[in-house]
């Protein structure tokens, strides 16, 4: 029989739709962590010597394994963090697409680059760093991990994952996928440890670099530790993405896309539209359409394929969102829809729309992580840009206008890592992903992401060319 101390040290997962306990896991102690890091280090030395063809073969196998287990993996995510089932299946498929894309393109992205110099021949080569520590959140339990791991492993690194405790089953399933796809043990490792146990892991000499997706506070803490140890980091942190609607926009399409962007994954996404900045002359019409579409969203059991809004991942997250909405309304905003937790054992919160939100109110200044949308009025396009840039975050944003050339001009003035004109923000293996300001540093995905965790090595071959005068 376990002692109270043992139970306190365990990792427990719970179904946020019902509150029921799912499973308890024993965390790795310091000795186990050290043994796993030793194994990862040994595999890093071997994996870096494999050819791109071998790496691509394994990645394609991982993509196939994800598709073969899609139903099982999706159901697990739905149980652990409440993601609506159809969205969970789409997330697994997206991971498979990333495996396929980097398998097909990794070698070309990391091909030696010939650079003319005083040498007979000189070039830049892209060498793996070694063991990458990935600290990942719960909201996209598969995609966040694969988004970090696939390019890094394609480049010849190995990955150690510290996942959020409430999706421990998903974390272990990811390791199983890689092992079943022919990767050696140590190529991808899941550590079962709490956040408080991470400091010595970040500082450990066996860890070459760190990538983190999470809160601003977590990024600041981990970044400081990695900086102390002089280790490369990539940080994808919070976001309060704008959704600018100009007077000449297709309001119906903008409202439909805006609702999907705000409420996808029950609003628990760093790149979800959160601050809807609408030009004054069309504000009322857009808000009316948005509220009608949000009101029609189906809230229910996330395991039901028809459900569009499931529970939030934890009750404390729901309580924080409720406080943000309440404080914003108390400051003078107007509650247009929802605004309250729903009764019952699950961590449900009604789809919510708050109008006439202004800078200085919590929903304008803070990240709202859940099914609640803030509507802000803009006098004109210049004011809309000013409001968009007023946030300390700069991850992404949307801009809706029928004048695409004007949209591109405005995009150049927006302080954000990405701008989607007349479309919904989404990460794509082919495009760089990341933010500025308090939303993080570095990039994931694409050519830019795969080169974040490599040693860009200059190779100079003599003799020197006598005619060179530089």
Active site residues: 236, 270
**Residue 383, class by beta-carbon neighbours within 10 Å (0-12 exposed, 13-18 middle, 19+ buried)?**
middle
Q: In whole angstroms, what separates CA 312 from the centre of its chain?
A: 17
The H or E element spanning position 243 is: strand 241-245
> Please, what sign has the CA dihedral across residues 261, 263, 269, 275?
positive
CA distance 139 to 133: 19
Calpha distance 262→453 (Å, rounded): 32
Backbone angles phi, psi at 141, to 5 degrees: -65, -30
Phi-psi region of 267 (alpha: psi -120 to 50; beta: other; left: phi over 0): left
- Residue 426's Cβ-side half-sphere holds a number of Cα atoms within 13 Å equal to 15
CA 449 – CA 430 distance, rounded (Å): 10
Strand partners, 299: 309
Tokens of 409: 């001009």
426 vs 196: CA distance, rounded Å = 32
């Amino acid at each position: 029989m376990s002692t109270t101390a043992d139970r306190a040290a365990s990792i427990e997962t719970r179904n946020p739709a019902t509150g029921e306990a799912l499973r308890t896991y024993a965390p790795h102690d310091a000795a186990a962590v050290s043994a796993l890091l030793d194994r990862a280090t040994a595999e890093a030395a071997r994996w870096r010597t494999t050819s791109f063809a071998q790496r691509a073969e394994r990645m394609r196998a991982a993509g196939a394994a994800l598709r073969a287990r899609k139903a099982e993996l999706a159901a697990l995510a739905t149980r652990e963090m409440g993601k609506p089932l159809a969205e969970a299946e789409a997330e697994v498929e997206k991971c498979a697409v990333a495996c396929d894309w980097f398998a097909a393109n990794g070698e070309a992205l990391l091909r030696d680059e010939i650079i003319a110099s005083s040498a007979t021949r000189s070039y830049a080569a892209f060498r793996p760093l070694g063991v990458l520590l990935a600290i990942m959140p719960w909201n996209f339990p598969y995609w966040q991990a694969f988004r970090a791991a696939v390019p890094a492993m394609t480049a010849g690194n190995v990955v150690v994952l510290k996942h959020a405790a409430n999706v421990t089953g998903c974390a272990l399933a990811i390791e199983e996928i890689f092992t079943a796809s022919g990767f050696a043990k140590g190529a991808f490792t899941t550590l079962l440890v709490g956040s408080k146990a991470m400091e010595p892991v970040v500082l450990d000499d066996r860890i070459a670099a760190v990538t983190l997706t999470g809160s601003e506070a977590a990024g600041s803490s981990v970044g400081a530790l990695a900086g102390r140890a002089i280790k490369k980091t990539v940080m994808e942190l919070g976001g309060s993405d704008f959704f600018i609607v100009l007077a000449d926009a297709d309001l119906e399409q903008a409202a439909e896309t805006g609702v999907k962007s705000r409420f996808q994954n029950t609003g628990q996404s760093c790149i979800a539209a959160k601050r809807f900045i609408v030009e004054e002359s069309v504000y009322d019409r857009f808000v009316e359409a948005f509220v009608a579409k949000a009101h029609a969203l189906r809230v229910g059991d996330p395991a039901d394929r028809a459900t569009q809004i499931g529970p939030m991942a934890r009750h404390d997250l729901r309580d924080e969102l409720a406080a943000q909405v309440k404080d914003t309304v108390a400051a003078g905003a107007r509650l247009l829809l929802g605004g309250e937790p729903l009764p019952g054992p699950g961590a449900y919160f009604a789809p919510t729309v708050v109008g006439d939100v202004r800078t200085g109110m919590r929903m304008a200044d803070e990240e709202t992580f859940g099914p609640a949308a803030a509507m802000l009025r803009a006098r004109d396009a210049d004011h809309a840009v000013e409001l968009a840039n007023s946030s300390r975050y700069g991850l992404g944003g949307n801009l809706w206008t029928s004048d695409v050339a004007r949209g591109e001009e405005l995009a150049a003035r927006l302080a954000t890592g990405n701008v989607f004109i007349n479309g919904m923000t989404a990460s794509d293996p082919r495009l760089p992903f990341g933010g500025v300001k308090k939303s993080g540093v570095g990039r994931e995905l694409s050519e830019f992401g795969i080169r974040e965790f490599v040693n860009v090595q200059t190779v100079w071959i003599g003799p020197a060319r006598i005619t060179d005068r530089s």
